[in-house]
Amino acid sequence: MSLVMSANRAARTGPGNPFVQRWAATSQNDSPEAALVKDMAFQKAQKISKEIDENISESKKVLDKKKKSAQILLLGQSESGKSAILRNFQLTFAPSQFHAERPIWKAVIQLNVIRNIKRILEVLTEEWQTTTVVAPNTRDLQRIRLGLSPLLFIETNLTKMISPGEVASQHRDICVRPNGEWKSLIRSRRAGSPPSGVSPDRNYRLQNGTDPTSALAALKDDIITLWEDPGVQAVLKKRHVRLEETPGFFMNDIARVADINYEPTDCDMMRARVRTLGVEEHHFVIEKGLDVGTDVYVTDVGGARSHRARWVPYFEDVQTIMFLAPLAFNQQLEEDPKINRLEDSIMLWKDICSNKILANAIIILFFNKKDVLSATLAAGVRVNKYVPTYPDGNNVDAVTKYFKHRFRSYHRRLSPSERPFIFHQTTAIDTTEMAALLIGVRDTILRINLKSGEMI
């Protein structure tokens, strides 16, 4: 839009404009000084105009390139998996760019782990303060808690590096500055890790405790003892703390993640949790295959309720929306625990389908977090306890079929004009499954854009 405006502005002010020509033409009545001044002014105007033309031509090139590329907008509530899908896009189509970010995601995962541990210690402390019953191993656990205290210092340092300005533990999730600024900060400020293979003794590691890798390696055994202790598990259960269900949960992988030589796997990088604030525009170039060199633009948004008003300026001209709706029928929104997650997704879906600005956009629906749905149903949680209208059938296929039908009927009824209903069920942390699916999705997008007359 701004490019079109500047093009118009240039047409109005450029040297080809008759008004400019008329104004600049030297009148026969002008004195030689006046003629000179006018001539200089004309040359200046021409120079500025040439610069504007060059800028416009550059901007047009960018715009044309954007038109010929895939442009995708990711929408959905917070924690629905938008950023994880974006990372899968990178891994599938621009793997070297994705893998170059491994050290960044390592720092994020370490902070995720430390916040997991901190949460456990907080719950234990609350328990010890409010109960008079002393379990036989309480003293051992208290000793472990004391031994893990250097992690608080590491947490502060990591938070400063990843998310400057945020007070450690202000939020459960890591919140970062938009548009990759945080990644550049980590690259420039990352503390050096000990050389691979070097395994210094515990004291050495603690003295060098500002390095999260060494500190976690030194404390690994204590962290495992803490997490695997049946008493600790019982306290977490009693206090309804389901760490396994929180994003960025790595406690079951601690032996691996706290190893001195730890390098995140692709799957770890999908599971790392960073909350998106505002709107982030990502660009990458397809590195291999038939579309090598094609540009992909993906816009990722913060899904929390307070962020949604910021999506609207990005609706104009959008071709494809990927809408993520995990079937989290038994969960509440983190930002507003009175609201059921699935109900929120349905409301949002209705808003997006009926939005007139998005009338020409293709919306691809993803029921993400299939693995979580599967585990929830396997644990015996019944859908009709939360959704009274749900008929019987507590298995993934039946639940998916029911909600797919509901989402499809809103799509058909509320879309301002007819458009295809495209649906996938996904597990964004399964990189192999996602790669195959995203290649298919990319083909669908290109096919639809070609049909609608767009040059791809």
Q: Select the span of 81-89, 197-205, 222-230, 377-385 touching Mg ion (CB under 5 A).
A: 81-89
- Contact with ligand GTP (CB under 6 A): which of 78, 92, 110, 163? 78
* 32 three-state secondary structure: helix
Give the DSSP H or E segment for 71.
strand 70-76
The beta strands (E) that lie in 273-390 are given as 274-275, 279-285, 295-301, 320-324, 362-367
The answer to whether residues 330 and 373 touch, using CB atoms and an 8 Å cutoff, is no
- Contact with Mg ion (CB under 5 A): which of 83, 319, 320, 449? 83
Q: Select the span of 21-29, 182-190, 269-277, 407-415 touching ligand GTP (CB under 6 A).
A: 269-277
| Shortest Å distance, C-beta 84 to Mg ion | 8
* 449 three-state secondary structure: helix
Residue 368 binding target from ligand GTP, Mg ion, none, CB below 5 to 8 Å by type: ligand GTP
| Shortest Å distance, C-beta 183 to ligand GTP | 15
Q: Select the span of 4-12, 129-137, 198-206, 268-276 touching Mg ion (CB under 5 A).
A: 268-276
Angle at Cα 440 formed by Cα 435 and Cα 442, nearest 5°?
95
Instruction: Report CA 10 to chain centroid distance, whole Å.
Output: 38
**Does the footprint of Mg ion cover residue 112 (CB under 5 A)?**
no
**Does the footprint of Mg ion cover residue 368 (CB under 5 A)?**
no
Of 276 and 330, nearer to Mg ion (C-beta) is 276
In angstroms, rounded to a whole number, what is the distance separating the alpha carbons of residues 187 and 433?
A: 30
**Which amino acid belongs to residue 399?**
V
Tokens of 107: 């720092």
Of 79 and 127, nearer to ligand GTP (C-beta) is 79
Residue 248 binding target from Mg ion, ligand GTP, none, CB below 5 to 8 Å by type: ligand GTP
Could you say which residues in the range 11-70 bind ligand GTP, by CB under 6 A? none
The beta strands (E) that lie in 236-352 are given as 274-275, 279-285, 295-301, 320-324
**Does the footprint of ligand GTP cover residue 177 (CB under 6 A)?**
no
**Does the footprint of Mg ion cover residue 299 (CB under 5 A)?**
no
**Does the footprint of ligand GTP cover residue 427 (CB under 6 A)?**
yes
Binding mask 106-145 for ligand GTP (x = CB under 6 A): ----------------------------------------
**Does the footprint of ligand GTP cover residue 275 (CB under 6 A)?**
yes
Residue 81 binding target from ligand GTP, Mg ion, none, CB below 5 to 8 Å by type: ligand GTP
Could you say which residues in the range 365-404 bind ligand GTP, by CB under 6 A? 368-369, 371-372
**Does the footprint of Mg ion cover residue 276 (CB under 5 A)?**
yes
**Does the footprint of ligand GTP cover residue 282 (CB under 6 A)?**
no
In angstroms, rounded to a whole number, what is the distance separating the alpha carbons of residues 153 and 335?
A: 27
Q: Select the span of 135-143, 203-211, 273-281, 380-388 touching ligand GTP (CB under 6 A).
A: 273-281
In angstroms, rounded to a whole number, what is the distance separating the alpha carbons of residues 210 and 356?
A: 53
Q: Cβ contacts of residue 253 below 8 Å, gap of 6+?
A: 268
DSSP state of 388: T
First to last CA, the chain: 20
The beta strands (E) that lie in 331-435 are given as 362-367, 422-425
In angstroms, rounded to a whole number, what is the distance separating the alpha carbons of residues 448 and 362?
A: 8
DSSP state of 166: P
Query: Would you report the helix, strand and coil content of the chain in percent, each value rounded to 5?
Result: 55, 10, 35
| Shortest Å distance, C-beta 112 to ligand GTP | 8
Phi first, then psi: give them for residue 107, nearest 5 degrees.
-60, -40
Residue 428 binding target from ligand GTP, Mg ion, none, CB below 5 to 8 Å by type: ligand GTP
**Does the footprint of ligand GTP cover residue 264 (CB under 6 A)?**
no
Residues lying near ligand GTP in the complex (CB under 6 A) are found at 76, 78-84, 247-248, 270-271, 273, 275-276, 302-304, 368-369, 371-372, 427-429
Residues lying near Mg ion in the complex (CB under 5 A) are found at 82-83, 276
